[in-house]
């Protein structure tokens, strides 16, 4: 199935596909193992920094190899690309989805570049995600409350969102409805579900939820009911990776063969991904 077909299935059957960031082979493998165990489609995604580290062609080849080896559908997404050049590299490498994030640009420039990305991507059957309102935070552990961090940042307006989607021709809209990147020490990551419902009503496209780490499970499930078909996860996996690796290194001071130390790390990340797959309702969807 293509990316479009998977997103359509998700929208129709009210589940979301997890979009999991990778920056190394261990995380990549953990996500794939979780997908195979839960029989769930997955989106492997890389930010520009992660893409530079791994290489566009390598990411696509790893996805194809793992998909064949484990019999699972793996879509590849470029996450938060800030330039046309970054998008073109991913399009040429064979990514399935391109997220152009022009939210920090003047609106006219954002629309202009997004339209260019759409034109180039659609020629190859690739879907494009756009971002109109900048989603705050970063994939880190933040001190304080998410509510405090985003209180002065305007959320996505349903009518403006509809116009943005129409003018750009994007397939997926990254909404800002109280979600923020990263995990906050005091919580406060609460979604404006009424706003989300209105955005779903006014826009004729798929909707994605960035900053999925830390958002209460019940709210994520409600957001999926209102049209979210893609949920991005990064921080919780990074947190699990570092915690487990720190413990493994401390408990095995004489071991220098890294592959022998990495299995518990992979398993720790896999557990995080499997929990998210259950939360998103995508488990078992490969065969049904």
**DSSP secondary structure code for residue 134 in this structure:** P
Q: Which of 131, 107, 106 is nearest to 181 (CA)?
A: 131
> Which contacts qualify for 211-214: CB closer than 8 Å, 24 or more apart?
211/135, 211/137, 211/179, 211/180, 211/181, 211/182, 212/18, 212/179, 212/276, 213/139, 213/181, 213/182, 213/183, 214/146, 214/182, 214/183, 214/184, 214/187, 214/189
Place of tokens 């979780």: 34
Options 79, 96, 101, 133, the catalytic residue: 79
Q: How far apart are the first and last CA of the chain?
A: 13
Give Cβ neighbours of residue 15 (< 8 Å, ≥ 6 apart). Answer: 224, 229, 280, 281, 282, 285
Report how far residue 63's alpha carbon sits from residue 44's, in angstroms, rounded to the nearest whole number. Answer: 8
**DSSP secondary structure code for residue 79 in this structure:** E
Report how far residue 160's alpha carbon sits from residue 177's, in angstroms, rounded to the nearest whole number. Answer: 14
Place of tokens 């798929």: 206
CB 200, CB 227: distance < 8 Å:
yes
Told to judge if 69 belongs to the known catalytic residues of this protein, a careful annotator would answer no
Annotated catalytic residues are 79
């Amino acid at each position: 199935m293509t990316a479009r077909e998977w997103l359509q299935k998700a929208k129709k059957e009210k589940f979301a596909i997890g979009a999991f960031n990778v920056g190394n082979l261990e995380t990549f493998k953990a996500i794939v193992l979780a997908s195979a165990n839960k029989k769930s489609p997955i989106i492997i995604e890389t930010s520009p920094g992660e893409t530079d580290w791994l290489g566009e062609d390598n990411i696509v080849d790893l996805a194809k190899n793992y998909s064949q080896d484990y019999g699972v559908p793996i879509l590849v997404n470029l996450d938060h690309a800030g330039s046309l050049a970054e998008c073109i590299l991913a399009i040429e490498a064979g990514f399935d989805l391109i997220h152009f994030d022009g939210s920090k640009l003047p609106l006219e420039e954002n629309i202009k570049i997004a339209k260019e990305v759409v034109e180039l991507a659609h020629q190859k059957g690739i879907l494009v995600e756009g971002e109109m309102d900048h989603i705050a935070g970063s994939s880190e552990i933040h001190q304080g409350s998410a509510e405090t961090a985003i209180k002065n940042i305007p959320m996505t307006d349903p009518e403006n969102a509809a116009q943005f989607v129409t003018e750009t021709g994007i397939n997926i809209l990254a909404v800002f409805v109280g979600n923020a990147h990263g995990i906050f020490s005091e919580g406060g990551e609460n979604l404006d579900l009424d706003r989300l419902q209105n955005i779903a009503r006014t826009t004729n496209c798929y909707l994605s939820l960035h900053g999925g780490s830390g958002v209460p499970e019940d709210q994520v499930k409600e957001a999926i009911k209102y049209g979210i078909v893609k949920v991005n996860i990064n921080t919780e996996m990074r947190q699990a990776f570092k915690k487990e690796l720190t413990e493994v290194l401390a408990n095995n001071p004489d071991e220098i063969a890294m592959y022998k130390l990495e299995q518990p790390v992979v398993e720790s990340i896999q557990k995080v991904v499997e929990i998210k797959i259950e939360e998103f309702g995508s488990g078992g969807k490969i065969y049904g």
